[in-house]
Amino acid sequence: MPSTKKILHFMSSALVTAISVGLLGFSMSTQWSTTTLECSRPGSGVFNGSAVVKLDLFSGNVERTSCPSFGGVDAFDVFPKLVEAGGAPVILYGLVLGLLALCLLFSACSILISLYNSVSNPYETYMGPVGMYACSSLSACVAVVALILYVLNLFTTAMAEDLVRSFAENIPAEIKNKSTQMDLGFYLLIPYIVLSLVAIALIYLYDHAAYTHRREQQRPTEDAPKEIMMY
């Protein structure tokens, strides 16, 4: 049976990881970004229209005002809509979704390993602290990559412009002055990353203390006092 200290450390790690999974789940269900664009008909030179693209991970809407003619609010499923346009945006977006799914998988594995260690004493294998380190560190690293790819998709591709044009009623539109802000869903990945690292720190503190204790018990005989050596 594990010691009370080990149970507390591994249970705390599992709890912290579970909280991070809750944050990630909420993040994936709420808004990630808002992009505002100016719009006009080709050749008119007067950009008196506008469009606002609001994106969750799986759904979104485009609010158009005179862009390029009439306005309206159009809701859509993000990934299928990007598939219609094709190109780099759909590839990057697919990677983001895949990476976030991996985050959930790695976090789930981290929770299971932590709970297993809190009720048993496994050897130093993938079911011990090593496995927990691997899963939680992968969760944090993959989440960072997902954040970077999402930002790149918004700022370096024409994803928002393509979405607006797809609802422009087959009327060509000129679009400029794109302005993007990140929303709650995006920023919630930051505490998810931090909590994944906190989970690692909790196990490391226990593992380091246990290693130090084992070293003290296995101290070479030359370090023993001379009085003990005489016996």
Residue 192: which of 115, 102, 79, 129 has the closest Cα?
A: 102
Residues in the chain, pLDDT under 50: 221-222, 226-231
Q: Which CATH architecture has domain 4-209?
A: Up-down Bundle (1.20)
Nearest CA to 149 among 91, 96, 90?
96
Beta strands in 130-192 (DSSP E): 174-182
The pLDDT, as a whole number, for residue 212 is 66
Query: Could you give the C-alpha distances from 225 to 216, 217, 220, 222, in angstroms and in order?
Result: 14, 15, 11, 8
Single-letter residue type at 140: A
How far, in Å, CA of 102 to CA of 143, rounded? Answer: 9
What pLDDT, on a 0 to 100 scale, did the predictor assign at position 1? 56
pLDDT at 54: 94
- By the 8 A CB rule, do 17 and 114 touch? yes
